[in-house]
Amino acid sequence: MWSHCSKTHILCFFLALLAILALVHNFYQLENLNTAGFKWLVEEDESQPSLHTTGTHRKLYCGYEHQVLSKIEQKEEESLFAAVQWPKPPENKVPFVRSTDPFHSNFMILNSNANYRVGDQLEVLVHMKDYDGNPKQYGGDYLQSRIHSADLKAGAIGRTVDYQNGSYRIFFKLLWPGEVTVSVSLVHPSEGIQLLYRLQEERPDRAYFKSLFKSGRISEITICNVCLPGDMPVCNFTDRYTGEPWFCYKPRRLSCDTRINHFKGGLKKGLLTSEESNFFQSGVNIKMPIPSIGPDTVIVRPLGHGELNSLESSHNSDVFPSGYYYQDEWQPRTRLIRHFNKSSDITECLQGKLIYLFGDSTIRQWFEYLTKFVPDLVELNLGSSKKVGPLMAVDPKHNILLNFHCHGPPLRFFTVFTSQLHYIANELNRIVGGKNTVIAITIWSHLSTFPIEVYIRRLRNIRRAVVRLLERSPKTYIVIKTANVQEHGPEVSLFNSDWYAYQRDTIMRKMFSKIGVYFVDAWEMTLAHRLPHKLHPENIILKNQLDVLLSFICPLETHYRFLTGIHNQMWSIFV
């Protein structure tokens, strides 16, 4: 009896010991996983979890105070908030006549008569004035700028430095020879930016969503969102794996499990007073050109014979601008690029590949472009909405499978069935990956009405899934498509402004830097192009975006080696 008990105790002891070792191992892996992607921060061994606090003393949004973040995650979050911090006017309420007037403001090219050559830097000084012509004394205006040559179909963007005294300096890299023109636009005055910030923090419900609940002949529609105020009973649809929160007000007569779909409810009106609305006027202060004092062009000479153009040999991932257009073709500055002008070139590149596109309608455009341009890619009828998906196209002859899946809520689409609501992180966890798997991700536009915490949390979940995927299948191609600029009106400004997109684009780039993913710089590619800004860019821009994507998969160096091999084989035959 005693012997039997002793053996049992010994067995139990070893089982307990194994359980403890397994727990420690899993905890260690989880900590390593959670810190992946923080290499842009100062690396410190601070992975002990604690409650969510930040040094910025932000007002916590909804249930986000219940997040448990490690110290390094806290540090990252504070760094991200610092990266998108924006100067504010010294007064909370500034009269419209004292706000920034693009027509009275001006810019001036410094040293416009200098002998510029390709590779030189061009500097532009901008002075802002109000509607009475008085110089502004503070900064915070949101500017967009570009240099361009219409006859060459060339363009590149500039980098703006805000001196926070009403003056700005913009730096351009001169990347092609010829006559180059400078353009500067005021997207929003600083007084408008202050209102956009307030709406982001205080009115995240200004875009609202709904769901249909149905059982038999009874159906009810209720409002849904990331956070629902008040004491009304709610249905909790928080994702069990990612923890992404989502709630709907509970129907009066039906249970929560009768939810059928998700759809855009609408955009709330009356968010601003009549005085505040003056800061968002088309043709007055939304994306308006700023005039120049003196010439707005310079002549750029080409490099001399034998001179090394170090621009093209740079391998710095932080190089600015990341590229430029020349003859309507995008030229990245840090890597060689192929231009896939024939559908057969795309088919050759994607042969044997499984391609997943995850995100919003700006990446769904890639699916639409490829299925129209490549005749061998045949779209299958899955019975789903063309705008929502999921969408699938196949080329059986060349073993190509192309998929599009929209990201999880919030989604400002029309009806999406709950069975089709999938978070990107969960989808990535289901993918095996490998050298024949290509994954492209974008997520920004549909989260533009929420505080930054909501966006950071979503990207953190996606990044964890990306890191796990690359750990099990390191040769998987994972591509991040950045945000892009779009057309603006008063209403679009309050819900989907380029300023909101710029914030999220900045965060996206930082959170996915140095973890082994590629970037398609849709931001620069839409801002530098000669065509008007559109949320859904024209085909020529999409074509260039896909050229970059395909060049990651089928690099120019490999292509040349392939062609050289064929040439050598043919030459040996003739010899």
pLDDT digits 0-9 by tens, 193-235: 999 999 999 999 999 999 999 999 999 999 999 989 888 999 9
With a CB cutoff of 8 Å and minimum separation 6, the contacts of 331 are 175, 323, 324, 325, 337
In the predicted model, is pLDDT for residue 36 greater than 60?
A: no
In a domain, 4, yes or no: no
- pLDDT in the model for residue 40: 45
In the predicted model, is pLDDT for residue 23 greater than 50?
A: no
- pLDDT in the model for residue 413: 82
CB 267 within 8 A of CB 81: no
Q: Say yes or no: 163 and 252 in one domain.
A: no
Of 56-60, 72-76, 123-127, 443-447, where does mean pLDDT reach its minimum? Answer: 56-60
Cα 566 from Cα 394, distance rounded (Å): 29
Task: Place 380 in a pLDDT band, splitting at 50, 70 and 90.
Answer: very high
Q: Say yes or no: 245 and 368 in one domain.
A: no
In the predicted model, is pLDDT for residue 404 greater than 60?
A: yes
CB 441 within 8 A of CB 479: yes
Name the strand (E) or helix (H) holding 210. strand 207-215
Which range of 340-349, 386-395, 410-419 scores highest in mean pLDDT? It is 340-349
Q: Say yes or no: 427 and 357 in one domain.
A: yes
- pLDDT in the model for residue 511: 97
In the predicted model, is pLDDT for residue 27 greater than 50?
A: no
- pLDDT in the model for residue 231: 86
Name the residue with higher pLDDT: 310 or 534: 534
- pLDDT in the model for residue 558: 56
Q: How high is the mean pLDDT of the chain?
A: 87
Locate tokens 């603006």: which residue? 488
In the predicted model, is pLDDT for residue 316 greater than 50?
A: no
- pLDDT in the model for residue 296: 97
- Strand, helix or coil at 121? strand
- pLDDT in the model for residue 389: 86
DSSP state letter for 250: P
Phi-psi region for residue 325, left (φ > 0), alpha (ψ -120 to 50) or beta? beta
Task: Place 556 in a pLDDT band, splitting at 50, 70 and 90.
Answer: confident
Q: Say yes or no: 364 and 497 in one domain.
A: yes
In the predicted model, is pLDDT for residue 445 greater than 80?
A: yes
Locate tokens 């990446």: which residue? 363
- Strand, helix or coil at 389? coil
In the predicted model, is pLDDT for residue 436 greater than 50?
A: yes
In the predicted model, is pLDDT for residue 113 greater than 60?
A: yes
Name the residue with higher pLDDT: 305 or 239: 239
Which of 46, 83, 35, 31 lies closest to 515 in space, CA to CA? 35
- pLDDT in the model for residue 275: 96
Task: Place 51 in a pLDDT band, splitting at 50, 70 and 90.
Answer: very low
Mean pLDDT for 4-18 is 50
- pLDDT in the model for residue 352: 98
- pLDDT in the model for residue 565: 42
In a domain, 141, yes or no: yes
In a domain, 517, yes or no: yes
Would the CA dihedral through 523, 524, 526, 527 be positive or negative? positive
Of 126-140, 177-191, 216-230, where does mean pLDDT reach its minimum? Answer: 216-230
Mean pLDDT for 521-544 is 98
- pLDDT in the model for residue 124: 98
Share of the chain above pLDDT 90, in %: 76
Which of 440, 350, 339, 341 lies closest to 395 in space, CA to CA? 350
In a domain, 564, yes or no: no
With a CB cutoff of 8 Å and minimum separation 6, the contacts of 13 are none
In the predicted model, is pLDDT for residue 12 greater than 80?
A: no
Chain segment 268-296, per-residue pLDDT in tens: 999 999 999 999 999 999 999 999 999 99
pTM for the full model?
Answer: 0.86
Mean pLDDT for 67-83 is 90
Share of the chain above pLDDT 70, in %: 83
Mean pLDDT for 46-75 is 61
In a domain, 313, yes or no: no
In a domain, 89, yes or no: no
- pLDDT in the model for residue 318: 74
Q: Say yes or no: 252 and 126 in one domain.
A: no
Chain segment 500-528, per-residue pLDDT in tens: 999 999 999 999 999 999 999 999 999 99
Q: Say yes or no: 114 and 149 in one domain.
A: yes
Q: Say yes or no: 183 and 207 in one domain.
A: no
CB count within 10 Å of CB 518 equals 18
Mean pLDDT for 442-458 is 95
- pLDDT in the model for residue 306: 54
- pLDDT in the model for residue 60: 63
Amino acid occupying residue 415: T
DSSP state letter for 60: P
Q: Say yes or no: 438 and 456 in one domain.
A: yes
CB 443 within 8 A of CB 488: no
Task: Place 560 in a pLDDT band, splitting at 50, 70 and 90.
Answer: very low
Range of the domain at 260: 203-267
Strand partners, 184: 145
Q: Say yes or no: 128 and 250 in one domain.
A: no
Q: What is the CATH number of the domain that holds 163?
A: 2.60.40.10
CB 118 within 8 A of CB 175: yes
Q: Say yes or no: 453 and 507 in one domain.
A: yes
Task: Place 367 in a pLDDT band, splitting at 50, 70 and 90.
Answer: very high
Q: Say yes or no: 533 and 426 in one domain.
A: yes
Task: Place 44 in a pLDDT band, splitting at 50, 70 and 90.
Answer: very low
In a domain, 500, yes or no: yes
The domain tally of the chain equals 3
In the predicted model, is pLDDT for residue 139 greater than 80?
A: yes
Cα 458 from Cα 464, distance rounded (Å): 10
Q: What is the CATH number of the domain that holds 329?
A: 3.40.50.1110
Of 283-297, 471-485, 557-571, where does mean pLDDT reach its minimum? Answer: 557-571
Tokens representing residue 65 in the block: 């105070």
In the predicted model, is pLDDT for residue 313 greater than 90?
A: no
- pLDDT in the model for residue 386: 83
Q: Say yes or no: 259 and 336 in one domain.
A: no
In a domain, 46, yes or no: no
- pLDDT in the model for residue 42: 41
Of 32-46, 166-180, 436-450, where does mean pLDDT reach its minimum? Answer: 32-46
Cα 182 from Cα 110, distance rounded (Å): 12
In the predicted model, is pLDDT for residue 570 greater than 60?
A: no
- pLDDT in the model for residue 61: 66
